[in-house]
Structure 1
Amino acid sequence: MILGQDGQKLSKRHGSISIEKYIEEGFVREAILNYLALLGWSYNEKTTIFTNSELIKKFELSSINKKPAKFDYNKLLWINGYYIRNMENSRLKQLLEKQIRNYLASENIIDLENRIEPLDQKIEKIIPLIKERIKTLKEGIDLISPFFIKISYSDELATYFKNKEIDATDILNRVYKTLGEVSSKFHAKDIEKNLRLISERLNLNFRKIAEVVRIAVWNSTISPPLFETIEILGKELTLKRINEYMRIIL
């Protein structure tokens, strides 16, 4: 028998109990199998991760604990994150591409903002930026979707710099002009160099520059690595978002 963290029999009131539901939520099959094998069974006190072949070799009915096992969602999440971090990029790309296509279809999103590159090519570039940050494929979609889907600034972000001792409009004007003059290759190193020059000219801590730019291009104070994010967004979309954010904060 499997129990919830409250000690009661696991049921729908504890959340998802269907394996297919967990897969929809971004858990990978190997992680689910690995975790389920550990419910009421252990090989030793140190080993948590088992490949399918290792489970076949090491799993023994005689080692099963007869006591009910508690379902630990956080442990499943940790195991899933481990599998994602150690997954081949080619397979992770396939899984994420499937997830994002399902997401776009479920949300009826047809008009993507960034069509410069095919979806699979762009995801291939994004994976190194997010792989260490995510524990589920769904978290991956949350980090991938702003690369494609039109962002909409919240009222909080629209007034984020209103009472701060920083001229966000001036910074963005400088960034817009500077990035507009960067070569068509638009590499992360060139982007970093130019943004740091703005920081030096304004005698302003670079973190403040980065915060302004990050909100403008990503609609959040948190993003994947900024310079690489801007490179993948591309010059046209980056400048478009900077311009849109400047309009709402004027």
Structure 2
Amino acid sequence: MRLLCFPHAGAGPSQFRSWLAAGPDSLQIMPVALPGREARYKDAMPRRMDALLRDLSHGIEPLLDQPFAMLGHSMGALVAFELARMMRCAGLRQPEHLFVSAFRAPHLNGRSPPLHALPGHLLKAELLRLDGTPPEVLAQPDLMDTLLPVLRSDLEIAEHYRYRHAPPLSCPITCLGGITDQRISRPELRAWRQHTADAFRLRLFPGGHFYLYKTPVLVQHAICTDLGLSTLCPDDAVA
């Protein structure tokens, strides 16, 4: 089954490279490229959710010819959720399952101060605190000159987002989280339950906010279990 993967704010498809190496045969990892980064670095970066969704819907529509699931991490969870709702309104094929990671349920108000307008040195300090960006990257001005505008654009989307009530999705939702994540509470994760008319499950893994990229095999095993897929990897096959 195809798994469309949406990374956290400021990140691109390469964030899932460890997932591509670890994936079982039954799961086709398909990182989604957001505008303004990596192969799409020349594309304008949207600053509102509606504009981002319009952009992404054109890119993924050709991938909807067979069953698929969606996974979003941090801000990517919000993007995946809203994209699933937009696809429903457009009469497009719906995901078999939605996996949302390390992000509070969308109807909850944000409790953190806005970050997108912070001065560069304070935004770097926040990245260091979250432990999602290697210190050696933070120490290189050229890399940060590329990263920070993308990050600010994504943060602006998330921080200006306003939830609009709609019926719950018809697909199951699994909420994933890091046990030691200080940004998101267990009740905020469990609150995703109200956004599905089907089954809901909360799964917690060792690690903090970026646990997802550090334990790909463990998380993929859980995803395959929830999708009813084999967890057999190529190296596990018997000749």
Superposition TM-score tier, normalisation by shorter sequence: under 0.3
Select the structure of larger CA radius of gyration: 1
Structure richer in helix, relative to its length: 1
TM-score, L = length of structure 1: 0.27
Greater relative contact order (Cα < 8 A, sep 6+) = 2
More strand by share: 2
